[in-house]
Amino acid sequence: MKFPKVNEEIRAEVVRLIAPDGEQLGIVSLKQAIDTAYKMDLDLLEVASKAEPPVCKIMDFGKYKYKQELMKKKAKKKQTQIVIKEIKLKPKINDHDLRTKIRHIEKFLKNGSKVKVSVIFRGRELAYTDKGWDLLNRLAIEVSDLGEVESSPVIDGRNMVMLLTPIKKRKREKKVAKNENS
């Protein structure tokens, strides 16, 4: 994190000085501004270096750094990382096994993760890609209340891949209400 220039780091000859309470003290020489800050037992920070003359404020630099770091931590907490979980299927999957995979997908979508569903074709199964399409479409319909298809099924080598993304809570509630009214 880059901090503004402080005290002797400031290179301007004259500055527009602002008091700790926000009051404008006018345009003064840099030496006079630094002396004023030291008398108050505070630091002189260059707030706007591009202005003519540069704007400097008298404040406690330690407190300023602390607040900036707190703001950075808050911003980092609000960021969400997108997690992609992967489920692999075979085109000849048993119904019971498919139900189990669907429950896993539902759990991942409820947790807010995206889900990459892959149908893996082995040997001659590649000739029956329509079974993979049917399987992925069935799966998308089964989990449509929790997730929606972000990228439709695409053949990638010997795999058929589809990406599901979770539906936001409000959107999900509207969808459920719409289905109840129908």
Residue 169: pLDDT band with limits 50, 70, 90: low
Residue 47: pLDDT band with limits 50, 70, 90: confident
DSSP per-residue string spanning 83-139: -EEEEEE-TT--HHHHHHHHHHHHHHHHTT-EEEEEEEP-GGGGGGHHHHHHHHHHH
Half-sphere exposure of 40 (CA within 13 A, CB side): 17
Q: Is the pLDDT of residue 60 over 80?
A: yes
Q: What is the mean pLDDT of residues 54-69?
A: 88
CA dihedral 155, 156, 160, 166 (to 10 degrees): -110
Residue 175: pLDDT band with limits 50, 70, 90: low
Q: Which residues pair with 156 in a beta bridge?
A: 159
Domain boundaries defined on the chain: 7-61, 84-181
Q: Which run of H or of E encompasses 75?
A: helix 61-78
Q: Is the pLDDT of residue 178 over 70?
A: no
The predicted pLDDT at position 177 comes to: 65
The predicted pLDDT at position 173 comes to: 62
The predicted pLDDT at position 139 comes to: 93
> Of 49-53, 68-72, 91-95, 134-138, which gets the smallest average pLDDT?
49-53
- The predicted-structure confidence for 111-155, as pLDDT tens digits, reads as follows 889 999 999 999 888 888 899 999 999 999 999 999 999 988 999
The predicted pLDDT at position 174 comes to: 63
Q: Given CATH 3.30.110.10, say whether it is the number of domain 84-181.
A: yes
Main-chain phi, psi angles of 121, to 5 degrees? -100, 130
Q: What is the mean pLDDT of residues 27-42?
A: 86
Question: Tokens representing 171?
Answer: 């959107």
Q: CA 1 to CA 132: how far, in whole Å?
A: 50
Q: pTM of the predicted model, to two decimals?
A: 0.54
- The predicted-structure confidence for 49-58, as pLDDT tens digits, reads as follows 788 888 888 8
Question: Tokens representing 42?
Answer: 């505070």
Other C-beta atoms lying within 10 Å of the C-beta of residue 27:
11
Q: Given CATH 3.10.20.80, say whether it is the number of domain 7-61.
A: yes
The predicted pLDDT at position 75 comes to: 85
